Amino acid sequence: MALLQTLISFVLALGILVTIHEFGHFWVARRCGIKVLRFSVGFGKPLVSWYDKQGTEFAIAAIPLGGYVKMLDEREGEVPAHLLDQAFTRKSVWARIAVVAAGPVANFLLAILLFWIMVMPGVVQVVPVVGEVAEGSIAARAGLEAGQEIVAVDGRSTDSWQAVHQRLLERLGETGSIGFTVRYPDSTLTYESEAQLEQWLVGVEEPDVFEGIGIKPLRVQLKAQLDQIVEDSPAAEAGLQTGDLILAADGQLIDSWRDLVAYIEPRHDQAIELTLERDVEVLTLWVTPAAFEIDDRTIGRIGVSPLQPHLRRQQFTLLQGLVVGVEKTWETSGFVLLSLKKLLVGEISTKNLSGPITIAKVAGDSARAGWAYYVGFLALLSVSLGVFNLLPIPVLDGGHLLYYLVELVKGSPVPEKIQMAGYQVGLLVVLGVMVLAFYNDIMRLY
């Protein structure tokens, strides 16, 4: 079942991203008066196909690892005289640039939309409070202490551990100073410090940046105190409220949230007597956990979440959410480009390059984790696809754009022989990267 879900999640992700990418080419081509012969999602023999009123064939093909838009093009055969004005090659260089760039742009627009969807319900993030600092580590040399909140790295804001992780990833393989801005609990005063990096984690496979810098996030044992109560859940029907502190279940002492979960999970459809503290009163309520199927086993849940310290909640208006989507897309694009540069110069191990097997595994894991994780995965993959396609490598969209920019400067197309030689080199580069990524995937499996 897990393998099937992974395959479905992977094929669905590819289908969405490829369709959006190719639709970008298709939509702009139509607007530029170019005749589109075929719009295919997937390669190989079409499984399903149909035609629209303008004679374009839409197809879903057997191999779901890409797609393409085929346009009327004199380079691929003779074009009837009455259709010459609809051929791609007869359009202005600006029109051709617009058509080629539209695919990656569509991926970036999709990423903005997906990031926007992710943040609109609100975002809950873990405040980056340091739990431990390893002796003699980079963090120790920078003067970081347990209990401090990291509010910025290298002058860039870090409102969560995810943001700290991102800032540290950007410094992989580098030499130079790294700066931290921290503050103590219940204080608005901030303190600046720095330490030196020396080819930090250069060439390390799957680097752990927190361990590499010498810090561990603060781990807090949660009390059995309630935060969110799900509407129409067993907890809501029993009268439980936000802020209630569970003291005992069926007379058994409950010291932590883990104790409460461990007691409730095996008792689905069984009434449980809860002793709780509400304000200054001690109350007794009865609740019957509902049954849920999780990984082929049945567990009990009452529909509550714990009150967690060191959490930061944010809500966004529609416009604020859109701004966040644009910022995340921009930041992710920059990080992908930076990572590619570091791979080329050897600051990041090529063993970190992932292929379709790893992508499929992440697709399955994110789908199982919930819709928000899967949407986030799609957004990241969409940005990566957009950036990769804009690289100035012949056979990619970026290679075509490079030829057209040269044509703009020199006033005439790049000679056909040079273009063909470039395509052959580009194809070798892309195939080489794909083989390396696939090899890495196989090595991870074994």
DSSP secondary structure string for all residues of 115-158: HHHHHTT-EEEE--BEEEE-TTSHHHHTT--TT-EEEEETTEE-
Please state, in angstroms and rounded to a whole number, the distance separating the CA atoms of residues 382 and 373: 14
Quick one: 334 and 348 in the same domain?
A: yes
What was the pLDDT predicted at 1? 59
Domain boundary among the residues 274, 307, 340 is at 307
Residue 231's CATH number = 2.30.42.10
Q: What is the DSSP letter of 196?
A: E
Q: How many CA atoms lie within 13 A of 401 on its CB side?
A: 16
Pairing of strands 311-314, 123-126: antiparallel
Inter-residue contact 181 to 152 (CB < 8 Å): yes
Give the per-residue pLDDT at 45: 87
* Cα four-point dihedral sign 171, 176, 181, 182: positive
* 81 domain-assigned: no
Per-residue burial over 167-204, b if 16 or more Cβ lie within 10 Å, else e, is: bbebbbbbeeebebbbeeeeeeeeeeebbebeebbbeb
Q: Which residue has the tokens 């002796």?
A: 135
Domain count for the chain, please give it.
Answer: 3
Select from 284, 307, 330 the last residue of a domain.
307
Look at residue 378 in the predicted model and tell me its pLDDT: 95
Residues 436 and 349 reside in one and the same domain: yes
Q: What is the mean pLDDT of each run of 10 residues along the chain (446 residues)?
A: 80 91 96 94 90 92 87 87 90 95 97 95 90 95 94 94 94 94 91 94 90 92 90 94 95 94 94 94 95 84 89 90 96 93 86 84 84 92 95 92 92 89 90 88 81
**How far apart are alpha carbons 323 and 317 in whole angstroms?**
10
Please check whether residue 59 is in contact with residue 37, taking contact to mean a CB–CB distance below 8 angstroms: no
Q: Which range marks the domain in which residue 185 is found?
A: 123-219+309-314
Residue 66: inside a domain, yes or no? no
pTM of the model: 0.83
Q: In this structure, is residue 374 part of a structural domain?
A: yes
| 423 and 330 co-located in one domain | yes
- Which residues are tagged catalytic? 22
What's the pLDDT score for residue 25?
96
Does 69 fall in a domain? no
Matching residue, tokens 């754009």:
401
Confirm whether 108 is domain-assigned.
Answer: yes
**The predicted structure's pLDDT at residue 416:** 86
Final residue in a domain of this structure, among 293, 314, 335? 314
Distance CA 403, CA 360 (A): 34
pLDDT at 283: 94
